[in-house]
Amino acid sequence: MVVFMGVTGVGARRPTTGAERMRIAIACVTVFTAILLTVPAPPAAAATRVPGIDVSMWQGDVDWAAVASTSTRFAIMRATRGHDYVDPRYAEYLAEASANGLVVGAYHRAKASLAAGDPRAEANHFVDVAQIDAGDVLPVLDIEEHGGLTVPQLTKWVRTWLARVFTRTGVRAMIYASPYFWRTYLGDTTWFADNGYPLWIAHWGVPSPTVPAENWGGRGWTFWQWTSTGSVSGISTNVDRDRFNGSNLLRGKIASLTVTPAAGGVITGARIACGGGALTCRRLANPDTVLTLAATPDPGASFRRWKGACAGAGSSPTCDVTALGTKTVSAVFTYPVQVQMQGSGAGTVSSAPAGVDCGTTCTASFPVGSTVDLTAAADSASAFVGWSGGCAGGNPGCQVTVSQPIEVVATFHSVVSVEQDGVGTAFGWGRVVAPDAFGGSYRWERRAGASATYAFSGGTVTLFTVSGPGMGRGRISIDGTTVDTFDGYARTVATGVRHRFTQLGAGPHSLTVDVLGTKRSAATGTRVAVDALRWGGQTRLNPPAAQAAWASVSNAAASGGSYVIGDAREAFARLRFQGTGVSLRTRRGPAMGRAEVWVDGALARIVDLYAPAPTFATVRLADGLVDGSHTVRIVVLGTHRGASSGNGVAVDRWIVI
């Protein structure tokens, strides 16, 4: 096929004037015989070139599904001409070709003139109409008319148009021209090739095209329009046929780079400023363009690493991305979490995710937006008092959300461990209100090993107990010697059951009642009760024990190898201590109940010791007290939650801060 100078054009450039029609008709007559005898063969090396077409309104109705069923993979369409013309078929072609899976592209037919602002106006018109985006064929400037401009004037016009498109899109458009036109009207300049503008060469009927501008600066052509009289299924007219110079059209399409905003810093680069309120996070680019990005952390933050297409750059604050197809980049910025430890005690604070391990590593950085769990653990001679700063409360676990530099203070105090029967401890049995009792109520316990000791003086003493269906067996000792074993069972409840002992000798004595934890078969329980005590001619009603004990349970995990437990309502365990706070190491489990916590005579809280499985736990009873003498008392409520099977309250040891 012969290429006629001055009449070659994109989209089978259809004549728009009578003169043009006549000129082309004469040319067609001249070469008609040659056309009949010489049918153009497909270009050489076609197997390595992706086939496509270019179209304009002159192609009329197009069956794009049929076009897509052929080897055609792309379609470049005329969008605009001059500064105000829009191809009436552009929007239709664009939508239907895209819907049928073809890669689409847009070109602008230049109408160069010396009018002020003309190249910028034409470029703006093209960009507004074409709406090019990532994945499209590179945009095109079709330069076929010199408009009477000299070579320098036309060169400047083309440079201005291309610069405006680049400013608005970030993409260097392709230039469409024939070898003759480029050499004649643009002086065979290499400036455009040297500055990265690809070439779409129009050269028909030859095995390979002639490429101007010194083989386009040694880069060769990117697209080649090799015929204007092609035939493609779905198009009834002749159609321009094209080839992309390569087997992968990705390098002929607009690439995109998307930066995901990362809290804690800003990512910047050419046409990118993402983060810190700036949201220019996406840009278009020519394929194989190297884009340099920089990660800048906010004040107090640090840059940790890149993600996505920049992952290979690791912790370097800059990254080079080669634009090709669709690529995404993000960054990880961090803020420090710093832990300080205060107080007279010692312990550790660790984090999950790992990082903080304080005493040794007390500052670590974590990604912005992440959550960090901190756990405080006191050593054996200390107790964790509580958090301040970025955390609060006395729970040893704390969670922080990293949105700024965080400082956390963990306070540990030295502790004094007081065993269940240590100095300052006391226990009391439960109490039952009974109108028939001497004082309107009596004391009781039911577990083997519980005991109550009373001091008296004189040679005679009388102990009054209670009998009934739920009573079991007990033992009475005076001055450490067993003097009686009794069975409190009776069909009906009776108070004031007398146990009298004489000939004890003058002076002080002690009487101890031990719960044996056994009963006769008819009894419903093993309770042992103390109603009153009489000596020296005076009856002591509901007498307070000089010393009482709850039942002891052996357990290797307990502090001293055992703990004590009670479940009688109003039974109590008390500690007088010197310090600023106190905790209770207790037993939790499926048969445990509730207790009141009284601090210095005031109700502080109610604790529930139920747990699905048995375990030891430390319960904070009081903290933040004025350093001095205080009293804490645990009172059994005799109640439990629905899931529990008992009312037990246990004391393993006291921890005084």
- Annotation marks residue 142 as catalytic: yes
Are β-strands 140-142 and 174-177 bridged in parallel, bridged antiparallel, or unpaired? parallel
Catalytic residue among 122, 144, 514, 623: 144
* CA-to-CA dists, residue 272 to 218, 310, 493, angstroms: 31, 15, 90
197 CB-contact burial (10 Å; exposed 0-12 / middle 13-18 / buried 19+)? buried
CB 47 within 8 A of CB 39: no
CB 610 within 8 A of CB 640: yes
- Annotation marks residue 379 as catalytic: no
d(CA 547, CA 576): 15
Catalytic residue among 87, 142, 514, 567: 142
Q: Which amino acid is at 114?
A: L
- Annotation marks residue 54 as catalytic: yes
* CA-to-CA dists, residue 490 to 486, 508, 524, 586, angstroms: 12, 33, 10, 36
d(CA 9, CA 363): 68
Q: Which two tokens stand for residue 380?
A: 């054996």
Output phi, psi for 462, to 5 deg.
-125, 130
Beta bridge partners of 245: none
SS3 250: helix
SS3 543: coil
User: Omega of the bond prior to 43 within 30 degrees of 0, cis?
Assistant: no
* H or E segment and range at residue 152: helix 151-169
d(CA 230, CA 10): 13
**Cβ partners under 8 Å of residue 93, min gap 6:** 55, 62, 64, 75, 77, 104
User: Omega of the bond prior to 474 within 30 degrees of 0, cis?
Assistant: no
CB 483 within 8 A of CB 536: no
d(CA 212, CA 201): 9
Question: Residue 279: how many CB atoms within 10 A of its CB?
Answer: 11
Question: Residue 98: how many CB atoms within 10 A of its CB?
Answer: 15
SS3 83: coil
What b/e readout covers 26-41, taking b as 16+ CB neighbours within 10 angstroms?
A: eeeeeeeeeeeeeebe
d(CA 216, CA 219): 5
d(CA 137, CA 173): 10
d(CA 27, CA 29): 5
d(CA 523, CA 197): 104
Provide the annotated active-site residues. 54, 142, 144
